Amino acid sequence: MPANVKLDTTINYEAAGVNINLSLVSPPAGDPARFNLNLTRAGGGERVGFSHQTCPVAHDFSRGYTRWLGTKGIRSERGEDEINGTARADLTTGQLIQSFHDAVDMVDQRFSHYRGSILEPQEYSDIIYAKRDGVAWLMLNRPETYNAKRGITMDEMARALLDAAADSSVRVTVISGAGPFGFCTGNDQSYDPELEHDDYRGTAELRYSEVIQQMPQPVIAAVDGYAIGSGNIMAYQCDYTIATTRSRFGQTGPRVGSPAAGWGVACLADRIGQKRAREMWNLCRQYTAQQAYDMGLVNVVVPPEKLWEEVDRWIADIKNVSPVILQMQKLSFNRHDHFIAPDHSPVQDYIPDYFASAECRERRLAFIERRPIDPSKNEPYVDLPIG
């Protein structure tokens, strides 16, 4: 076991409102090296707890980070306000130092792109919402997950969008994601949809997706990075989608055991055609921004540094036309969409208990653990009559 390894660092993330403190120390007696991570409030030094009630961001980060450290040879446990780990005895000094640098880099990837404080109390924890000059700006603020949504995120989105919808001075709403490479990567699969239903899906009476469809203002999806799973659905349900060249689009449901079905699936066929829609939903492939443009999934593709300039151009065009006529046209398009909206989805009709199945658990955990799926856990086809 290497001796005399003593590494520590404190990183200040002013926008997020926290300091993150990491250390890795090899005791002189030759015992395994010990790792520690904790969060403190910027400027105050007070420890930030890892409970969901204290700080949802710290809760989710510490849960995933503890698992990730195991891939670096550091077996870790999460406490109330710190992560403690023990390095494998066979790691060399060089490997220990590299593991520590990787641990710091992973923290930086997660926290450097926050655009608002992660600490309570504040009106929103998972989004940044503001209204300026007739535009409502909604940014998903979970860059540590590439803006994957959990229940809190969806509830806050619904609340903010309802506020924008009720404001007659708002002419257009823009939805984006914090940090590069992550518009929204769907629902956060670290939450168990069966055991943590409300944390996974939220409790809002009216879902954010329904507000996007029904609010009178046009909604622009400003996509810079991954629009995957329900992030892709959100992008194609917005009235317009502006994407950067580094964006990617696709679905994951059949691969990770997330049984999306019904109108949210079928309406994609009206956007890009039956063949393409079935390909995208059934095969879980990913598509570049140019491919998405070619199939009609996005309106325009621009370099990343031109995204907000292009968004401003679309906003100016929207402001130049009649708001009430735009509202009536949006209603007309949506009525056409809803000709295909049944009362129940196939999932509700035929596999209502899917979230409790072995397949659902296996596919979600395989995704989290980055391992192949055990196909023996697959659910059988539903026995439906033909003819």
Whether residues 205 and 182 share a domain: the answer is: yes
Top-confidence range, 222-226, 254-258, 371-375 = 222-226
CB-based contact 155:129 (threshold 8 Å): no
Domains in the chain: how many in total? Answer: 3
pLDDT mean across residues, the chain:
88
Whether residues 210 and 310 share a domain: the answer is: yes
Residue 385 forms part of a structural domain: no
Whether residues 197 and 266 share a domain: the answer is: yes
Whether residues 290 and 366 share a domain: the answer is: no
Whether residues 333 and 351 share a domain: the answer is: no
- For 278-298, letters b (16+ CB in 10 Å) and e give ebbbeebebbebebbbebebb
Residue 118 forms part of a structural domain: no
Residue 141 forms part of a structural domain: yes
- Scanning the chain, the segments in alpha helix (DSSP H) are 56-70, 93-111, 151-165, 197-201, 208-214, 230-237, 253-256, 263-272, 274-283, 289-294, 307-319, 323-338, 346-350, 358-369
Whether residues 164 and 309 share a domain: the answer is: yes
Higher pLDDT, 261 or 72: 72
* Residue 76 clears pLDDT 70, i.e. is over it: yes
Higher pLDDT, 59 or 162: 162
| Residue 53, domain CATH | 3.30.1360
Rounded to whole angstroms, the Cα distance separating 242 from 86 reads 46
Range of the domain at 57: 6-111
Residue 386 forms part of a structural domain: no
Split at pLDDT 50, 70, 90, the class of 200 is: low
Interval 209-225 mean pLDDT: 94
Whether residues 333 and 186 share a domain: the answer is: yes
Whether residues 249 and 140 share a domain: the answer is: yes
Q: What pLDDT is recorded for position 364? A: 81
Q: What pLDDT is recorded for position 195? A: 65
Which residue's entry shows tokens 């395989």?
Answer: 366
Q: How much of the chain exceeds pLDDT 70, in percent?
A: 92
Split at pLDDT 50, 70, 90, the class of 9 is: very high
The closest alpha carbon to 157, from 134, 187, 132, 181, belongs to 187
Higher pLDDT, 255 or 386: 255
Under DSSP, the state recorded for 144 is G
Whether residues 148 and 72 share a domain: the answer is: no
* Residue 179 clears pLDDT 60, i.e. is over it: yes
Residue 121 forms part of a structural domain: no
Residue 202 forms part of a structural domain: yes
Q: What pLDDT is recorded for position 368? A: 79
Q: What is the pTM of this model?
A: 0.70
Under DSSP, the state recorded for 72 is T
Whether residues 210 and 241 share a domain: the answer is: yes
| Residue 184, domain CATH | 3.90.226.10
Split at pLDDT 50, 70, 90, the class of 276 is: very high
Whether residues 206 and 177 share a domain: the answer is: yes
Whether residues 137 and 262 share a domain: the answer is: yes
Residue 384 forms part of a structural domain: no
